[in-house]
Amino acid sequence: MEQPSVDREIGLGPLKDEHSDDKGGVSVSLSPETSESATVQFDAAADARVRRKNDWCLVPSVALIYLFCFIDRTNIGNARLAGLEKDLGLTGYDYNIVLSIFYIPYILLEVPSNMACKYFGPERFLPAITVGFGICSVAMGFVTDFSSVCGVRFLLGCFEGGILPGIAYYLSRWYTRKELALRLALYVVMAPLAGAFGGLLASGILRLDDFGSVHTWEKIFVIEGIITCGIGFITFFTLSNGPATAKWLSPEERLIATNRLRAEQGTDEGSNDKINKKKVLRAIGNPVTLALSLAFLIVNITVQGVAFFTPTIVQTIYPDHSVVSQQLYTVPPYVVGAFFTVLLPYLMGRWDRRIILFIISAPFLVLGFAIFLGTMNASARYAALFFMASFSMPIVVFVTATVSANTVSDATRSVGIGTAIMFGNCGGLIATWSYMPKDAPEFYIASGLNLAVAVAVLLISTLLLLWMIADNKKRDKREAAGDLTAVEESLEVLEWRHPQFRWKL
């Protein structure tokens, strides 16, 4: 049965055909149409076809990039079980220092990297830094002492700093507000899958014969780094800067993909707008961005702590098992975590609600850390890992999707997402010092800290939701009362300060 046509007319000023310039950015020329308001009509079937094509061409590429970004960042935990500390002579807090070194450039380059991503174009920038951190992973297989491992981890942080905010910003160029959360989830889910797949991959690599001077834990870094470099080179050919330059869409489909976003965002410029001081300040000063940055900072203590220390935690739960068996025990919590990392954002898209799911996740984190803190029973502590992985990993989707939904222009969105993730990764730096060797196997300090974090996130997210609802009601009353003075600047310029702006819950 033929699907009924749902025609839409979108008039957004002269329709533009965008082409990549020599910097990977966008140069603009008017389309052949000469009318003052070019209009494109499309039906629901055409809309779905465009979205489906984008899904198949975009999501696998960015998901693979993020999968190996997370593997190359956290495989040091697997290498630790295989003897990295002993071979490099790391003692005391040396391992925690090595983890911390990574976060210094990772945090500082978050916003500048997203600005560079916009300037050079995602189709070139993201593959280039992927090759960069792949090379760093290979180099990890040849470190010989404490100072060399610190140097390589520092460089790894330089390249990986742009991946998470860069992909989130990149996908916001392609999908509407309701569609974005699930697509963000489909690459963020690579984080728990990286934990699962990383454990399986590490256990498989350790079974391989040594080659040359590369042995035991060194094989993990070298083999995984080579795979990463290959993915980086491939994505040079699979990514495109935005809908108007998509290699896999027909000219008509490019118009549909471009106009459907402009219609929702209320902007004619799309990805052509330039970053300036005013937009940077609007992005950083956005109340929702600031609140979520604080929430992400503290909750990332949990997210990154679980990512880095799950192998160590499993080792303390099952100390008598073999290294390969311990690696395999890290897999099930991550698999279940991956399920919830997709399920919760899927519900966000269906309901077009974000903050409420942030609020719902926090009590489950409280439960997980309360169990871990309250008992030494191996089965109960292992069960607690499932709660930690399942309800911490989706939070990055909640944050990036909510920031994206509450910005208007492309430039402001790139800075806003970068800001939230930059603050969040400050929590990652704290996480590297949460599980201390002297606290094993109980890890009372880490569990108590993460329990407090979960409670704080519940409070912040609840207060933010209440404030957004109240502020929207105030804006509605002012508009209904006609109490608005004439505003000369557009919504795209004023962002959240514009009287017509409403917070997206």
pLDDT tens sequence across 47-106: 888 888 888 988 899 989 988 888 888 788 778 878 888 888 888 888 888 888 988 898
Residue 398's Cα: distance from chain center in Å? 10
Answer whether residue 308 is part of any domain: yes
pLDDT tens digit sequence for 314-352: 888 888 887 777 777 877 888 888 888 888 888 887 888
Q: What is the mean pLDDT of residues 464-476?
A: 91
Confidence check: pLDDT of 175 > 80: yes
Residue 20 pLDDT exceeds 60? no
Quick one: pLDDT at residue 16?
40
Confidence bin at 7 (pLDDT 50/70/90): very low
Tell me whether residue 310 is in a domain. Answer: yes
Query: What CA–CA distances, in Å, run from 374 to 255, 329, 388, 392?
Result: 57, 21, 15, 20
- For 39, the 3-state DSSP assignment is strand
pLDDT at 505 exceeding the cut of 90: no
Q: Pick from 302, 305, 324, 304: which is nearest to 315 by CA?
A: 324
pLDDT at position 380, please? 87
Question: Which is higher by pLDDT, 311 or 387?
Answer: 387
Q: What range defines the domain where residue 345 resides? A: 41-497
| pLDDT at 479 > cutoff 50 | yes
Whether residue 126 is predicted with pLDDT greater than 90 in this model: the reply is yes
10 lies in some domain: no
Q: Mean pLDDT over residues 470-488, rounded?
A: 76
Digit-coded pLDDT (tens) for 375-405: 888 888 888 888 887 887 788 788 888 888 8
Note the pLDDT of residue 13.
37
Q: What is the mean pLDDT of the chain?
A: 79
CA separation, residue 121 to residues 118, 126, 401, 470 (Å): 5, 8, 21, 38
Percent of the chain with pLDDT over 90: 12
503 part of a folded domain = no
Res 140: pLDDT? 92
Bigger pLDDT: 280 vs 42: 280
Share of the chain above pLDDT 70, in %: 85
pLDDT for 401-443, tens place per residue?
888 888 877 778 888 888 888 888 788 778 777 777 777 777 7
Please check whether residue 34 lies inside any domain of the structure: no
Whether residue 148 is predicted with pLDDT greater than 90 in this model: the reply is yes
What pLDDT is attached to residue 273?
60
Question: How far is Cα 94 from Cα 255, in angstroms, rounded to an integer?
Answer: 55
pLDDT score for 5: 35
Which domain CATH number covers 387?
1.20.1250.20
Contact 299, 457 (CB under 8 A): yes
CA distances (Å), 70 to each of 67, 113, 199, 224, in order? Answer: 5, 18, 12, 11
The pLDDT of residue 133: 92
Q: What is the pLDDT of residue 185?
A: 83
Residue 355 is assigned to a structural domain of this protein: yes
Q: Say which residue, 139 or 195, is predicted with more confidence.
A: 139
Q: How many domains does the chain have?
A: 1
Let me know if residue 186 belongs to a domain.
yes
pLDDT in tens, 201-228: 777 787 777 776 777 888 889 999 999 9
* Residue at 164 is within a domain: yes
- The pLDDT-based confidence of 131 (bands split at 50, 70, 90) is very high
pLDDT at 12: 36
119 pLDDT higher than 80: yes
- Provide the terminal-to-terminal Cα distance of the chain, rounded to the nearest Å: 37
Instruction: Find all residues with CB under 8 Å of 94, minimum gap 6, and list them.
Output: 85, 146
Tens of pLDDT, residue by residue over 176-194, are 877 888 888 887 787 777 7
Helix or strand (DSSP H, E) at 30: strand 26-30
